[in-house]
Structure 1
Amino acid sequence: MDGPHMPTVPECAPPTPPSPLTSLTPLTPLTSPTPPVPLGALLAREDLGLRRIAGPGDPEPVVHWVHTSEMADPYPYLLGGELLLSAGVQLADPDTYVARLVEAGAAALGFGVAPVYDTVPAGLVAACDRYGLPLVEVPPRTPFTAVARAVWQLMALARHHELRRVARAQQGLATAAARPDPVPAVLGQLASRLGGRAVLLAADGTELAAAGRPLSGPAARALGRLAAVVRPAAPDAPDAVRPKAPAPSPKAHTAASGSGEGRVAPPTGHTGPSAPDLPAAPGAKGVSAASDTADGTRLAAYAVGSRGLVLGLATPDREPGDHTVAGVAVVLLSLLTAPGQGGGSGRDAALVRLLLGADPAATAAELGGDRWTAVRARPGRGGTTPFATAALGAALGSPLVDPAPDGTVRVLLPRAVDDVPAQPGWVLGVGGPAGPGSLADSDTQAARALDTATAARRDVAVHRPGPLTALVPPAEAAAHARTLLAPLADAPALRETLRAWLSLHGSWDRTAAALGIHRNTVRQRIARCAALLGTPATRTSAAVPADLDDADVRAELWFALRSLP
Structure 2
Amino acid sequence: MRLHELLGLSDLKLHQVVAPEHFDPVIRWVVTTDMLDPSRYLTGGELVLTGLVWHTGPEDSYAFVSSVAKAGVAAVAASEGGLVPDDLVAACREHGLPLFRVPADVAFATVTEVVVRQLSTARTSDLKAVLDRHQRLVESTGPGGIGPLLDLVGTELGMECWVSTASGNVLAGPEGLSDPAFLAREFLIARRLPHYVEEYGISLLPVDSDSAARVVDWFVAVRSDWQTWHPERLALAEQLSSIVAVERARSDDRLTGSGILAQEFVRAVSEGASASDIAQQMYVIGLPVESRYIAIAAAVSEDVLRLGEVRQLVRETYASPMSAVGITDGEVIAIVPADEDLTPAIERAVGALSPGLTGTGLSIGVSSLVASRDIRSAVEEAKHARQLAARRNDDRYVVGHEELATLVLLLAGVPDDVRRMFRSRLLTPLADYDDVHKSDLIATLSAFLDTNGSWTKCADQMHLHVNSVRYRIQRIEELTGRDLSRLEDRVEFYLALRLS
Question: Shorter-chain-normalised TM-score: which range?
Answer: 0.3 to 0.5
State TM-score, norm by structure 1.
0.42
Identify, as 1 or 2, the structure richer in helix. Answer: 2
State TM-score, norm by structure 2.
0.46
Structure of larger gyration radius: 1
